[in-house]
Amino acid sequence: MPAQTTLLRSVVQRLPCVFLTFLILATLAAWPGRPAQAQPDPYLPHGNCDGFPRVDLQTPAGLCVGLVASGLGFPRGVAVSGDTIYVADMGGWHHAQGQLLALNHNGHDKPKILLAQLDRPNGLTFGADGQLYISFPDHIARIVLHPNGTADQQTVLTGLPGTGRNPLPALAAGPDGTLYVSVGSATNNCETETGKAPDATRRCTETEEKPPRAAILRFRPGPAPLTARSGDVVATGLRNPMALTVLPGGALLAAVNARDSIDSADPTLSDGDLPHDTWQIIRKGADYGWPYCYDNARPAPEYPDHNCAATTRPDLLLPAHAAPLGMIFYDRTTLPGLRNHLLITYHGYRSTGHQVMSLAVRPNGKPTGTPQPVIRGWRDLSDSDGPAGAPTGLAIMADGTLLITEDHNGTLLRLALEQHSIH
């Protein structure tokens, strides 16, 4: 260490003083035992996107993506009321590290922590009653927002399993005051605790639990907590239906994360191409096949003799491993070409992920085409100055612009018109 100090002093004496700070910091950072410095923001803003730093992502002509906030940790759900943006920040996959954040003045204020030490908050939505609801692995809570800017939480649903491979519930609000809750599977495809293939002669025990795994529940929040064991089971056989939304007419839509490693059960099948993630208009009482069937009623390799004819087929097959996590119906006119489209986040880390997609639908939910990219280019950023992004939640601002949470880099982004102005 003394030799390094002497060398530094002798070099500094020969350099203009404008380099002094830079040289000292660079030398100190290189010394052994020096704590690692925080990395710069992974996005490289260039210019302005309607009042926020513009980031280098690809959008349709006339639109741009602005960086509203960074350093958020692990943001998932996002919801808007008036000029306040609420974000459910998981904080990571460890217990009690999550937060509920509020960003006032349409995101121009710094994030404020409303609640801390939360256990992996994920879903966030305003119900038809105007109340804010948030999901945790084992329960759903109502957020009581006080006029002084503070908040409390009240449990409205208990008894969610909160365990296994897919412990995070998603939320969607119906126009009649009900809430829809996803219950993900505990396993990849009903394998045993030691990873062995399931017994094909028996029913998968996950599907027999109360509430069943790989399902969607419906309940109406009240003044006292309800239990998921007695909840209304809307549909089953949906491995991890994380992207949920309800159309104005009441149709429930879901995009589902399908299984992984299908080639480990059948080496002749390609894990890169199969199975497809799925998108469907949810029919009450329907069984969509997991873990016995995949894609369009094809028997899973673990259940080769299963009769899949009685299962309900998906309305669309999405790319394998796209991992849809968020979905919202866009009924505004602000963003051209997107009115009456669903917007869906593909969170996946493979080549099919890293995108926000749009899908035109009729009022009953029936698609009129196939998903098309709205925001992409995160993979290109990973090759240069930042890691690939992973979009998660979606919300629509009062002015019709679109908010996107992105958990891989801990950011909140906004899709807007290049010439638009928010007030």
Q: Which residue has the tokens 């495809």?
A: 189
- Give SS3 for 310: coil
The domain segmentation of the chain, as residue ranges, is 1-37, 46-417
pLDDT at 193 over 50: yes
CATH code that applies to domain 46-417:
2.120.10.30
Average pLDDT over residues 343-364: 96
pLDDT at 223 over 90: yes
Residues 6+ apart with CB under 8 A from 267: none
Identify the H or E element spanning 29. helix 20-30
The rounded distance, in Å, linking the Cα atoms of 135 and 233 is 17
pLDDT attached to residue 33: 33
Q: How many CB atoms lie within 10 A of CB 173?
A: 21
> What are the pLDDT digits (tens) for 361-402?
999 999 999 999 999 998 877 655 555 889 999 999 999 999
- Confidence band for 46, pLDDT divided at 50, 70 and 90: confident
pLDDT at 45 over 90: no
Residue 24: phi and psi, rounded to 5, are -65, -45
Is-contact 62 401, C-beta < 8 A? no
Is-contact 254 279, C-beta < 8 A? yes
pLDDT at 30 over 50: no
Is-contact 373 381, C-beta < 8 A? no
Mean confidence (pLDDT) of the chain: 89
Is-contact 219 234, C-beta < 8 A? no
Beta strands in 22-174 (DSSP E): 48-49, 52-53, 63-69, 75-81, 84-89, 98-103, 112-118, 124-126, 132-135, 140-145, 151-158, 171-173
Average pLDDT over residues 337-357: 96
- Confidence band for 407, pLDDT divided at 50, 70 and 90: very high
